[in-house]
Amino acid sequence: MKVTVFGSGYVGLVTAACLADVGNHVLCVDIDAAKIAQLTAGRVPIFEPGLTELVRKNAGEGRLRFTTDAAAGVAHGLFQFVAVGTPPNEDGSADLQHVLTVAASIGSHIDDYRLLVSKSTVPVGTAERIREAVGAKLAARGVRMDFDVVSNPEFLKEGDAIADFSKPDRIIVGAESPRAIELMQQLYAPFNRNHDRVLVMDLRSAELTKYAANAMLATKISFMNELANLAENLGADIERVRVGIGADPRIGYHFIYPGCGYGGSCFPKDVKALIRTASQADFDARLLQSVEAVNQRQKRLLFDKLKRHFGSLGGRTIALWGLAFKPRTDDMREAPSRALIDAVLAEHGAVRAYDPVAMEQARRIYGERPDFKLCDSPEAAADGADALAIVTEWRVFASPDFERLKTLLKQPLIFDGRNLYDPAWLRNAGFRYFAIGRVQASY
């Protein structure tokens, strides 16, 4: 099949590469000429395990191409995927200008039936606005043309996106046209051989499903963080509580790890957008508001612990292990690391940081400055620091040389935002260890 994907960001590029890899001919369209030049040369500007290899393979075999020509994109594909960004507005709502611009562009160039596939994370009712935008352009041209709009939200985890696309848990298709449903089933057939994963529903339900999924996961995280803070006040160990409640199959162990808050490009943005959507529908989404408030507080927790311990962070140096919002990505959008870095620097402290893949992102965000240094290794970051703070649970941090670490730090002091270590073992090794929800292990 011939497929056009508008947008060569994270979602668009993964979608394009994975669809090309099963034999489709995919044309990826983006207005960023520099990015298109990079991709054409085989350089993938985002970090995602396996993506560079997949892009280069399918481009080399002629199934994946890149262009800035929107008209060529509309002419190429029966399927017109809309996978452009929907950044948050100041009020938390999703900014749809890029989505609607693509829709208008398709309407300006369409000369045969096309199936518009909304892949971007968008508020409920966006498919109708896409249809209106295309229809307005057709009317302005004095042309009558059949087209359909479907909602096909993505459920890609950063770090596992290729596996998530290739072996999906579910394929949500929001559609009203039997023709559109049949075409989507044909397109996804290569990813659907084991059993039928396509769930067909109405457009608005499909759009809400994406927000509901991310909001549910964010709620689980904030709930566990709330319990962790309570456990700390009560003298309980949240890790034991986690194991205890996770054993209940109605709860399970997924997304119940306490920590220093969630970040990334999805959960923060989508929770805020859903709160805004609820407000526009005259509904007071109190639980979602609490999920967001708890997360904002949690992202300051490590700083608050450091502040309580030192009193003032002026002149102090904090070693920071982890910059990305989670492992297996270089994404620092809304990352807890940024909340900690910003707070320490605002107090006239200094940060020495290490991350396996997010160093360039940090350099782009913070630039070159004397109070923020990017180091070549975890040990280099710890050398001469007053304390170590851990904000990302990279595997490389799981079992460090604690004896050497004790000699590198000015004092054996660890603030662990991901509860990586055994408190009793560290205490016996001579460390002072502050974790999340584990008050009995502080000294």
Residues annotated as catalytic are 266
Cα(256)–Cα(251) distance, integer angstroms: 9
Backbone angles phi, psi at 237, to 5 degrees: -110, 110
- Sheet of strand 350-354, all strands in order from the earlier edge strand to the far edge: 372-374, 350-354, 317-321, 387-390, 413-416, 432-434
The span from the CA of 167 to the CA of 126, in Å, is 27
Radius of gyration of the chain (CA): 24
Token code pair at residue 67: 């262009």
Q: Is residue 433 within 8 Å of 414, Cβ to Cβ?
A: yes
CB 127 within 8 A of CB 118: yes
- What is the DSSP code string of 410-441? SS-EEEETT--S-HHHHHHTT-EEE-SSBGGG
Q: Do 352 and 381 contact (CB within 8 A), yes or no?
A: yes
What strands lie across the sheet with 64-67, from one edge to the other? 64-67, 25-29, 2-6, 79-82, 114-118, 147-151, 171-174, 198-201
| Token pair recorded at residue 76 | 């190429």
CA separation for the pair 148, 150 (Å, rounded):
7
